[in-house]
Structure 1
Amino acid sequence: MNEHLEHLTPQPLWRHFRTLCNTPRPSGHEAELVAILERWADGRGLAHDRDDFGNLRIRKPATAGRETAPGVILQGHLDMVAQANADHPHDFTRDPIETYVDDGWLRARHTTLGADNGLGVAAALAILEDDELVHGPLEALFTLEEETSMGGAMHLAEGWLEGDVLLNLDSEDRGEVFIGCAGGADIVVEAQLPTAELCAGEVAVQLSLTGLVGGHSGIDIHRGRGNANRLLIRVLRVLEAFDIRLVSYRGGTLRNAIPREAFATLALPADEVAAAKRRVAELQKTLRAELAGIDEGLALTMTPLPALPEQALNAHASRLLLAALNAAPYGVERMSTDVPGVVETSNNLGVVNLEKGRFHLCALVRSLRDSATTDIADRFRGLFELIGARTRVEHAYPGWTPNPDSSLLARFRRLHRQLVGSDPAVKVIHAGLECGILAGKYPQLDMISFGPSIRGAHSPDERVELDSVSEFWRLLRGLIEDLATPEG
């Protein structure tokens, strides 16, 4: 599958990306890809090893005469976000990603593309097989489970890597270079809420909110896009006027993706259904007007269910849960005063589920300040304690402190001017690059992050600009050769 990728340029990079598209690799299921890359390294005579967590390193000796040049670590993560449109059956543990070219962009059919971070991985592999490239010692570090927990970086062996500089290939904006990023943490809320049987005269309906764009919960959080959880909970609060009780709820699948769809099953008196349905139609118009020009595809529907559920939350628990969810922190909390135009602190209400009274929520907080992350976690804890829920913080990871005086950054800026004809924009990103964690384990490393233009990451709208991949490849090859050339 994806044979057409072999005809894109630069051909070696796209050939490796084809392998990644054809090999299922959602977070936690990278083993098959690791085995393929190890066999590939063996076939080229490249040394490789893994640390205790399973992170993969492939090494290539320096070009003859460049043994004393700085060692370069090329770093990316093997896993991808697994998101598909609700009407498209796709098993990310078995099915390949089907790609196509559309007006200068590469896309996937109804699923995430995996350009995040498949293109970085493919570029590192293409560098390792480039026998015309003059380079110092090379290491390619491929981490696991970045998209779910930063697990590979968090558990990376210390004292294992040998390089002097690290090129993180997980950025998504042409013409930009990143020197800092936000840290973050997952906030998990759980509760067992009281239920009661349906009353005589009650019926069941399903409420569906679909059609949103979604996106990356870090780099897209400030764009004003709809969050299906936030919007459907708002709708449910309005419908409380019709004596609804919540039976079940399902919204979002990943804490780091802005939810595109959410579904709720409700119990309500049969004589209120018609009025509730009219109110839903009015709310659809209201929400579409609010999102006009930003998120145009919202659809809000209410459908009768033929079969009655046995239980729903009792009226008191339903009201308390919806009140707490409606008051939960969401979106941009604060813009940075140190880095103008960058979000300092945000929270994504990513995954919300209710089934047979069991409630689960997972939100992802990101911040340039660890203290702000702690504060939002405490607010969640205080809010949901009021309904008897338990809150815990998981998978916390540090941010990456910017170093504007980096000699690696100076080289990249000079090279960018030579190859592209302009200065790159030096940025701090409101997303969780692995650089902050790696810097904690290897504080001596000088590092930057750059990559091609990827849009819609973490959603089925994910796409990559083909021209930007060619530019990314020229910059990567040029920087490695530049680092192998003595200064002066």
Structure 2
Amino acid sequence: MSTEIRALEPNALWNKFADLNAVPRPSKKEERIIRFMKDFGANLGLETFEDEVGNVIIRKPAAKGMEDRKPIVMQSHLDMVHQKNNDTVFDFDTQGIEMHVVDDWVKAKGTTLGADNGLGVATIMAVLESETIEHPALEALFTIDEETGMTGAMGLKGGILKGEILLNLDTEEDDEIGVGCAGGVDVTATRTYKEEETPEFKIGYKITVKGLQGGHSGMQIHEGLGNANKIMNRLLFDGFENYGLRISEIDGGSLRNAIPRESNAIVAIDSVNESTFESEINQLVDVIKKEFKTMEPDLGIEISRTEMPDKIMDLGVQEGFTRALYAACNGVYRMSADIKDLVETSNNIARVIVKDGHIKIGCLTRSSVESSKLDLANTLRATFELTGCEVEFSGDYPGWAPNMDSDILKVMVPIYERLNDGEKPHVAACHAGLECGILGKNYPDMDMISFGPNIKGAHSPDERAQISSAQKYWKFVLEILKHIPKA
């Protein structure tokens, strides 16, 4: 681990982040990080335990003189999104994240950084370890599997936590205090199809879409970033309409909560159309690149000859499939009528797989309004069912309704203004999925708030954490802990 990271200020925060990033912690494979956190708490002599689903809870008594304050919960999730650049050789299951400093930013070398939500976890670790920080009685709640289903938050039973205030450290703008978030549901369309033998007169092509920025499918869904699955389908649709292109395989996107950066397809066309196909599709490539030149300057689309595939998709199924993907909503569906500039409802066409007679299309639909979430999910369902797909809704989790009368909010706003020369924080709901809404189901009386340092490009290899912002955030944390209201 680079010594330059450990030398950064605040030293306590960055050292714990470096310790954390040395431990592989993919979603669904958190055994090592759970053990790491339990050992960390036990070595401090603090009450430490793991609940039934794998969440780790560490309790620390109040600092001297703070015994009369309301007990609090500090909460962050242990898992991280694993994404890497196509040319980066890295094994997330065995390697720690390789970090370096670029100007005012900490970045990883070709992979996601894990600042989401590793900086939150590191903050709590630093507070637990400190003998000088003033704080009330606190419970550290480290949840698992936030990124792929929030099963840790969903599995946390009522009655385990004793705190009255929850500080969620999973917001990615340091001038924002989060008071609400979107809920979500996975919409998955599947079907089987008959494969056909590829006729001898056809030739094979490989089409690759790459170089897109990707990013967080909630926080960045409104930015107009390219979706590799939608761009690929546009190419396939055009090739089919004009040159009878036939699909053999598609592998696009990766994680449900990441805007797809890459897609690959193997296709076949009639050999007599070779030159005209290449000419026209490259004209379309130029058109698409011009459309995205501002937001996606590194977009690459490659069309190259390859071996003719043995099998191709049934013609009727292919026609319905490409039309359904064209029609399916991707991006913002509705803006909030109540909160300015807030995306209310959106969809991310995250994963498209076509291979060996099976189609799978995975979407993550988000909304801060439950009825609107269901409306969009049903819109997608109807679109895909018209093509013969079976559609399943899963992983449904609720949003977090804003509470503008929150007592901890009333404490935090004046602290922020005092620390930042009178500047007012942005008190807002976000379009990401935070665990507060889920935790609130079993802890309805707990006062919850969310905040954090500046993190850009989360869920992509461009993820980076701002050093100066971490310093600003750390001071904010210390002042909040010092001014928790009396019980």
TM-score, normalised to structure 2's length?
A: 0.98
Q: Is the 8 A contact 1:61 1:136 kept in 2?
A: yes
In the TM superposition, 1:329-348 aligns within 5 A as: 329-348=329-348
**Could you tell me which residue of structure 2 aligns to residue 473 of structure 1?**
474
| Pairing 1:125–2:125 present | yes
Q: Is the 8 A contact 2:171 2:453 kept in 1?
A: yes
Aligned residue for 2:25? 25
State the match for 2:136 in structure 1.
Answer: 136
User: What's the offset of the Cα at 1:281?
Assistant: 1.6
8 Å Cα contact 1:255/1:363 also seen in 2: yes
Q: CA–CA distance in 1 between the matches of 2:23 and 2:85?
A: 20
Measured after TM superposition, the shift of residue 275 of structure 1 is: 1.7
**Partners of 2:55 and 2:36 in 1: CA distance:** 14
Counterpart AA for 1:396 = D
Match of 2:254 in 1: 253
* 1:273 Cα deviation after fit: 2.2
**Hey, what's the Cα distance between the residues in 2 that align with 1:424 and 1:269?**
60
**2:435 aligned with 1:434:** yes
Instruction: Give CA-to-partner distance per residue, 1:239-271, whole Å, 9 cap, x none.
Output: 111111110001110111000111111011112
Aligned partner of 2:287 in structure 1 is 286
In the TM superposition, residue 292 of structure 1 has moved relative to its aligned partner by 2.3
Question: How high is the TM-score relative to the length of structure 1?
Answer: 0.98
1:15-39, CA deviations, whole angstroms, 9 ceiling, x for partnerless residues?
1111221111110111101111211
Describe the SS at the equivalent of 1:57.
strand
CA distance in 2, matches of 1:326, 1:70: 53
Give the partner amino acid of 1:420: N
Instruction: Confirm or deny that 1:61 pairs with 2:55.
Output: no
Amino acid at match of 2:90: H
Q: Which moved more, 1:273-282 or 1:142-151?
A: 273-282
The 10-residue stretch of structure 1 (311-320 or 229-238) with the greater mean CA deviation from structure 2:
311-320
Once the two structures are superposed, residues 324-380 of structure 1 have per-residue CA deviations (whole angstroms, 9 ceiling, x without a partner) of 111111110010010011001000000111111211111000001111111122122
Matches of 1:98 and 1:283, distance apart in 2? 38
Give the RMSD, CA atoms, in angstroms.
1.2
Q: Secondary structure at the match of 1:222?
A: helix
1:447 counterpart letter in structure 2: M
Cα distance in 1 for partners of 2:193, 2:84 equals 30
- Name 1:10's counterpart in structure 2: 10
Q: Which deviates further from its counterpart, 84-93 or 211-220?
A: 84-93
Name the structure 2 match of 1:111. 111
SS at structure 2 position matched to 1:18: helix
Q: State the secondary structure of the residue aligned to 2:221.
A: coil
Structure 2 equivalent of residue 78 of structure 1: 78
Secondary structure of 1:216's aligned partner:
coil
Matched, 1:451 2:417: no
Indicate if the aligned counterparts of 2:68 and 2:486 stay in contact, CA closer than 8 A: no
Q: Distance in 1 between matches of 2:426 and 2:377?
A: 33
* 1:46/1:58 contact within 8 Å kept: yes
Residue correspondence of structure 1 range 391-402 to structure 2 within 5 A: 391-402=391-402
Q: How far is 1:80 from its partner? A: 0.4
User: Quick one: distance in 2 between partners of 1:81 and 1:30?
Assistant: 12
* Aligned counterpart, 1:189: 189
Per-residue CA deviation, residues 420-477 of structure 1 (Å, 9 max, x unaligned), is 2222110110110101111111011111100000000000000011000011111111
Deviation of 1:4 after TM superposition, in Å, equals 2.3
> Tell me, which stretches of 5 or more residues in structure 2 are unaligned?
none
- In 1, Cα distance between the equivalents of 2:131 and 2:362? 46
Shift of 1:309: 2.4
Deviates more, 1:246-255 or 1:3-12: 3-12
Deviations 1:219-257 (A, max 9, x none): 100001111111110111111111111100011101110
Aligned-partner SS, 1:411:
helix
SS in 2 for 1:303: strand
Percent of residue pairs identical: 39
Q: For residue 435 of structure 1, what is the amino acid of its counterpart?
A: C
Corresponding position of 2:367: 367
User: Structure 1: any 5+ residue segments left out of the alignment?
Assistant: none
Residue deviations 1:381-426 (CA, integer Å, cap 9, x gap): 2222222211010100000000111110010001111212222110
Aligned letter for 2:42?
A: D
Is 2:246 aligned against 1:267? no
Equivalent-residue separation in structure 2 for 1:257 and 1:279 (angstroms): 31
Q: Which runs of 4+ in 1 moved over 4 A?
A: none
Deviation at 1:2, TM superposition (A): 2.8
- Output the CA distance in 2 between the equivalents of 1:385 and 1:346: 20
Q: Please state how far the C-alpha of 1:486 moved relative to its aligned partner.
A: 4.4
Separation (CA, whole Å) in 2 of partners of 1:180 and 1:28: 26
Task: Return the letter of the residue paired with 2:425.
Answer: P
Q: Distance in 1 between matches of 2:113 and 2:288?
A: 29
